[in-house]
Structure 1
């Protein structure tokens, strides 16, 4: 059962996690690491930092947009990771 912060579920597992566990291989330019759990407040994946719409359109993004998003992802992942331990006591 997911924990809640302000009424929002912290994690929502997606079908991509099942797809990854079943042996699908990620492309080398794809930031997915197979975690595929999403923060309920931001919508960011805990593994790669993308939102579901960003994941769906990843291969269609222009190289410029993909590079810009790739530079943004580490900040998102660390921001979600920083918030997660603060909720341990609830």
Structure 2
């Protein structure tokens, strides 16, 4: 849970795992599971706006990888 939004889980800065490749049949990134639109606006989204995306990614099994890559994202990735 976060301090500002007690109902929201503490999560990495981004689901990005530095494996940025869009699968044409699903239009999802093979690394993080987000759509191009989600990737494009991620930096300007509020935590509340990100919550349903995180929930979908967790349900689809993408979030475990983002926990490992969070330090890489914090060091310079913008996605």
Whether TM-score is above 0.5 comes out as yes
Equivalents in 2 of 1:43, 1:74: separation in Å? Answer: 18
Cα RMSD for the two superposed structures: 1.8
Task: Tell me: higher relative CO, structure 1 or 2? Use CA pairs within 8 A at least 6 residues apart.
Answer: 2
TM-score, normalised with respect to structure 1: 0.49
TM-score, normalised with respect to structure 2: 0.55
Aligned length: 51
By percentage of residues, which structure has more strand? Answer: 1
SS in 1 for 2:29: coil
Structure 1, unaligned runs of 5 or more: 1-27, 79-90
Displacement over 4 Å in runs of 4+? none
